[in-house]
Amino acid sequence: MGKYLVIETTASLLRIPLESLVYVKAEGNYSRIFTVLDVVKGSKGTLVTYKLGWIHNSLSDVIGDVESKTIVRAGKSHIINLDFVSEINISQQTLALSDCDRFNVVLSDGLSREVLKALKSALGNDNND
């Protein structure tokens, strides 16, 4: 059985399968969650009344062991699912997320060179296992 990010609001309960989570973006005191379906449809994602730090902590509780993490915090503004990273461009400070045939998203705001270098290093080490 898969793992889920569960977010409860006063009106509803969101249960998001981690394998469909593409990225989360901070928007002030709120966060916007993008799943594969959101990105494929060109939707604005789901705005929730939780800060990015709270979502990151919730994900850490669900994922557990640091060694097995595929969903990571990428600076102050994003949480990224590494399974969808298709390109990291440090000089242009961009990160492309893709599932090859259905969508391609390029993130640029809030991604420092240091964050991108760390992501590049983490992904490069995955290939050396």
Structure tokens at 111: 């991604």
d(CA 23, CA 97): 9
Task: Name the phi and psi angles at 25, rounded to 5.
Answer: -120, 135
Q: Domain 4-126 is in which class? A: mainly beta
26-47 pLDDT, tens digit each: 999 999 999 999 999 999 999 9
**First-to-last CA distance in the chain?**
26
| pLDDT of 126 over the 70 cut | no
pTM value is 0.86
